[in-house]
């Protein structure tokens, strides 16, 4: 047989069988969504969800999460029933070892032990075990305590019954992520704290303790009013002023447990947070669809019953939901999530049940509280009139977004290729930097749009003010796909949109302003993977005959440390801006696809992203003050 024939051979020997937890280590992204920050923290959520499942089914009253001093080791414990330790009839191993080493093994499939559960895929604990360099499980059952250790999914010790008797029952899982799987293994305190507080809101009556050994802090979360308290917190965080004093609340326990709390506010956007069995569903799903459908029908019925729609005004679902802030939490027996990360619910039957529960309850509440309902009606009518007025301004911008070059902004230096192909639009800070970029670019597929100064903060601006802004108009027109609800990616004129600002603090601020605009008004560019951030160098470091480029101070110090042989004295140049760079330098460091560095803009956590942008870019200065004060000690250098 020839070598060529041998290479093409495909038979049974080519089929690789991954046994046990090998598939998890081979393709972790299939189980936790990726190995970045979101995937790393998903390990905690999987173990935490198991403890929450014990609590929501009435078997536990307290959950404790401890972040150890190294910042990379976590212990999650509860006072639930404890994972069984007796021998499993099928695997011939202890039930504890089975749960932690076999995919799709758990106590949530038979429907007898858990009425509702957040982790019904049955892979959570075993996946965490597979992706941990070390995992220790301690179980208290029947007056005794048991311990078993694992590494990378494999047992490192047999199940041991520890000496002495103990009181109570429960499970404690301690694990450290495997650094060969995750680029970074240090957990974020704020992210953990936020998730724990949410758990205490969604499961009222349960105490959730957070022991933060990194920052030497302890905190207990306990909320008797549940999501009503949560709604108050969200309103305060968003600085959203309600237009009616008491919130609309609903709790139904049959056939599914549905809880919701909502208030209309003076804000111009809708903000809804939804959960299924305590799991945040950032991408919504059938429960959110049912909620919105029931809400829309209830409000429309109230309008029609009392003949409240003014002549010439068209009420849309967007008008009804404008300014609405709501929390929706449901508990169902067999949730069907989209993917292991569980950020979207797919159960089709939930939509109709949500609609059927919410519509009559909200309609009755409005009829029983006429003064409150009339205020909501006035708010909706005002939104409809404002939306109609803004359509003209939006259409004016949309008319400029056509593909004809004669209609494009005058300061846009477009690329020569007519099709989208591999084209790129660089949004550049200032005319000076724009000049260097225009000279240094590849004219065939790279377009340059210089923006003057710092762009408008669209988080705090009205739609009318935003549409009147020349820089925003030019930006939307050049991109070509429209804006807001009328955005159509088929009209996008470029394959990639790249933000290119100076590498200093001013440049970072401009990039943040642009990111705010894209996140709020053109989010499809982010979800479709079209938005990027260029990383131009801040320093040029010449050592002997070699030239190195440093993106920031940390990068500069690393270069100096790597070449600290004393033979050549380094010559360091700090760029004041992109306009200082020669076109050839800008090309080789920032524009050339073969040598440049780009950051792809992605959203790992919709709720957290929304909160951060609202805090940092919104009207409420106190949120920014808190952000600065909480992080003041970590700032090693202040650029003013």
Helix 370-399 vs helix 286-305: crossing angle, to nearest 10: 110
CB of 347 closer than 8 Å to CB of 258: no
Tokens found for residue 150: 């694992």
Residue 429 falls in the annotated catalytic set: yes
Helix (H, G, I), strand (E, B) or coil at 154: strand
97, 212, 343, 429: which one is catalytic? 429
Residue 474 falls in the annotated catalytic set: no
Q: Give dist(CA 270, CA 260) in Å, integer.
A: 15
CB of 451 closer than 8 Å to CB of 427: yes
Residues 6+ apart with CB under 8 A from 52: 63, 118, 199, 203, 278
Helix (H, G, I), strand (E, B) or coil at 425: strand
CB of 423 closer than 8 Å to CB of 446: yes
Q: Give dist(CA 358, CA 328) in Å, integer.
A: 11
Taking alpha carbons only, the member of 66, 60, 111, 100 closest to residue 82 is 60
Name the phi and psi angles at 143, rounded to 5.
Answer: 80, 0
Residue 502 falls in the annotated catalytic set: yes
Enumerate helices (H) and strands (E) in the chain, giving the number of each: 21, 22
DSSP per-residue letters across 106-149:
SSSSSSSS-SS-S--SS-HHHHHHHTEEEEEEEEEETTEEEEEE
Residue 552 falls in the annotated catalytic set: no
504, 580, 615, 620: which one is catalytic? 504
Q: Give dist(CA 268, CA 253) in Å, integer.
A: 33
Report the b/e string of 484-511 with b at 16+ CB within 10 A: beebeeeebbbebbbbbbbbeeebeebb
First to last CA, the chain: 72
Name the phi and psi angles at 592, rounded to 5.
Answer: -70, 115
Q: Give dist(CA 378, CA 368) in Å, integer.
A: 17
Q: Give dist(CA 382, CA 310) in Å, integer.
A: 11
Catalytic positions: 429, 502, 504, 506
């Amino acid at each position: 047989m020839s070598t060529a024939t041998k290479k093409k051979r495909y038979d049974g020997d080519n089929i690789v069988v991954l046994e046990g937890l090998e598939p998890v280590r081979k393709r972790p992204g299939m189980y936790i969504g990726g190995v970045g920050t979101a995937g790393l923290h998903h390990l905690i959520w999987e173990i935490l969800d198991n403890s929450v499942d014990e609590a929501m089914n009435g078997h536990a009253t307290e959950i404790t999460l401890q972040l150890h001093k190294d910042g990379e080791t976590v212990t999650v414990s509860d006072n639930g029933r404890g994972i069984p330790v007796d021998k499993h009839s099928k695997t011939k191993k202890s039930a504890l070892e089975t749960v932690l080493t076999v995919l799709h093994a758990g106590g949530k499939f038979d429907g007898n032990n858990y009425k509702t559960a957040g982790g019904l895929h049955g892979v959570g604990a075993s996946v965490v075990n597979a992706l941990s360099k070390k995992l220790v499980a301690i179980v208290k059952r029947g007056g005794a305590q048991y311990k078993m250790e694992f590494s990378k999914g494999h047992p490192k010790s047999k199940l041991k019954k520890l000496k002495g008797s103990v009181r109570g029952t429960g499970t404690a899982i301690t694990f450290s992520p495997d650094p060969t799987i995750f680029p970074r293994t240090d957990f974020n305190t704020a992210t953990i704290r936020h998730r724990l507080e949410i758990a205490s809101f969604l499961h009222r009556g349960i105490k959730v303790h957070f022991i933060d050994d990194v920052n030497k802090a302890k905190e207990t979360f306990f909320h008797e009013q549940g999501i009503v308290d949560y709604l108050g917190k969200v309103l305060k965080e968003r600085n959203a002023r309600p237009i009616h004093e008491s919130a609309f609340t609903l709790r139904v326990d049959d056939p599914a447990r549905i809880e919701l709390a909502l208030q209309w506010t003076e804000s111009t956007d809708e903000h809804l947070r939804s959960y299924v069995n305590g799991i945040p569903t950032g991408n919504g799903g059938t429960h959110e669809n049912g909620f919105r459908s029931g809400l829309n029908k209830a409000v429309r019925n109230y309008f029609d019953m009392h003949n409240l729609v003014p002549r010439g005004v068209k009420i849309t679902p967007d008008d009804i939901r404008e300014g609405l802030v709501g929390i929706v939490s449901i508990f169902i027996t067999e949730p069907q999530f989209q993917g292991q990360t569980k950020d979207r619910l797919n159960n089709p039957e939930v939509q109709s049940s949500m609609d059927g529960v919410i519509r009559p309850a909200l309609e009755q509440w409005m009829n029983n509280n006429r003064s409150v309902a009339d205020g909501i009606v006035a708010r909706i009518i005002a939104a409809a009139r404002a939306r109609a007025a803004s359509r003209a301004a939006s259409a004016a911008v949309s008319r400029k977004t056509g593909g004809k070059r004669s209609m494009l902004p005058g300061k846009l230096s477009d690329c020569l290729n007519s099709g989208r192909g591999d084209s790129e639009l660089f949004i550049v800070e200032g005319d000076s930097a724009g000049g260097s970029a225009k000279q240094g670019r590849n004219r065939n597929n790279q377009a340059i749009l210089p923006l003057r100064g710092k762009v408008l903060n669209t988080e705090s601006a009205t739609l009318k003010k935003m549409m009147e802004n020349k820089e925003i108009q030019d930006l939307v027109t050049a991109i070509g796909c429209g804006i807001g609800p009328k955005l159509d990616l088929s009209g996008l004129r470029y394959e990639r949109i790249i933000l290119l600002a100076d590498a200093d603090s001013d440049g970072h601020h401009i990039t943040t302003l642009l990111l705010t605009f894209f996140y709020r008004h053109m989010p499809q560019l982010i979800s479709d993977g079209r938005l990027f951030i260029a990383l131009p160098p801040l320093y040029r470091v010449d050592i002997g005959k070699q030239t190195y480029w440093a993106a920031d101070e940390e990068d500069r110090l690393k270069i100096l440390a790597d070449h600290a042989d004393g033979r050549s004295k380094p010559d360091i140049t700090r760029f004041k801006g992109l306009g200082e760079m020669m076109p050839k330098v800008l090309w080789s460091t920032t524009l050339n696809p073969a040598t440049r560095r780009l950051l792809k803009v992605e959203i790992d956590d919709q709720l957290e992203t929304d909160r951060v942008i609202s805090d940092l870019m919104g009207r409420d200065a106190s949120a920014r003050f808190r952000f600065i004060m909480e992080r003041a000690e970590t700032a090693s250098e202040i650029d003013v």
